[in-house]
């Protein structure tokens, strides 16, 4: 695994590079370590509070530990009407955790998301940003098997 300081330094001379740096760190770690926010503040010569503000502003970015595989389920109205709550129940049951939690082995994290732009195939989940549409409780185990 690459060091987050090395990753951040690759972007420090780019305008708006902090966002790209955070994306790159998150691709490597699946989240942004707290210390990486401090390193970004230093690399981009900005206050720590500002670096933290950038890292927490975008819902796609996540500061703090989370699982290797991040499962997000859309909680917008179309997905809700199409049965997202049953898919949430199936995910929680299959993984033994609740929304917002990470499995003890660190393999999966469950999160809610706003619209993921796949309203034609609701309900939708994403696993590491890969979308799965028309998800039913019966399909959950099959989808998770790809990542186990």
What does the pLDDT look like over 25-67, one tens digit per residue? 998 988 899 999 999 999 999 999 999 999 988 877 888 888 8
62 belongs to a structural domain: no
Please name the residues in contact with 26: beta carbons below 8 A apart, sequence gap of 6 or more.
32, 61, 62
Same domain membership, residue 122 and residue 82: yes
Instruction: Please give the pLDDT value at position 109.
Output: 94
8 band by pLDDT with thresholds 50, 70 and 90: very high
| CATH for 104 | 3.40.30.10
Same domain membership, residue 74 and residue 48: no
According to DSSP, the residues that pair with 109 across neighbouring strands are 70, 102
At residue 11, what are phi and psi to the nearest 5 degrees?
A: -110, 0
When divided into structural domains, the chain yields a total of 2
97 band by pLDDT with thresholds 50, 70 and 90: very high
**Tokens standing for 137?**
């409780």
Give the three-state DSSP class for 113. Answer: strand
64 belongs to a structural domain: no
Same domain membership, residue 110 and residue 73: yes
Question: Which domain range does residue 36 map to?
Answer: 4-57
Residue ending a domain, choose from 57, 83, 102: 57
- Percentage of residues in the chain having pLDDT higher than 90: 70
């Amino acid at each position: 695994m690459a060091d987050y300081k090395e990753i951040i330094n690759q972007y420090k001379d780019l305008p708006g590079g902090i966002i790209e740096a955070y994306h790159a760190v998150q691709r490597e770690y699946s989240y942004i370590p707290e210390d990486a926010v401090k390193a970004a503040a230093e690399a981009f010569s900005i206050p720590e509070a500002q670096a933290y503000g950038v890292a927490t502003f975008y819902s796609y970015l996540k500061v703090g530990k989370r699982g290797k595989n991040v499962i997000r389920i859309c909680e917008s109205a179309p997905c809700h009407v199409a049965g997202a709550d049953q898919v949430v129940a199936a995910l929680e049951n299959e993984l033994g955790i609740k929304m917002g939690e990470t499995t003890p082995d660190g393999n999966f994290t469950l999160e809610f998301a706003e619209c993921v732009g796949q309203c034609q195939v609701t309900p939708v989940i994403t696993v590491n940003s890969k979308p799965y549409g028309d998800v039913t409780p019966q399909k959950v185990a099959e989808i998770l098997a790809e990542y186990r």
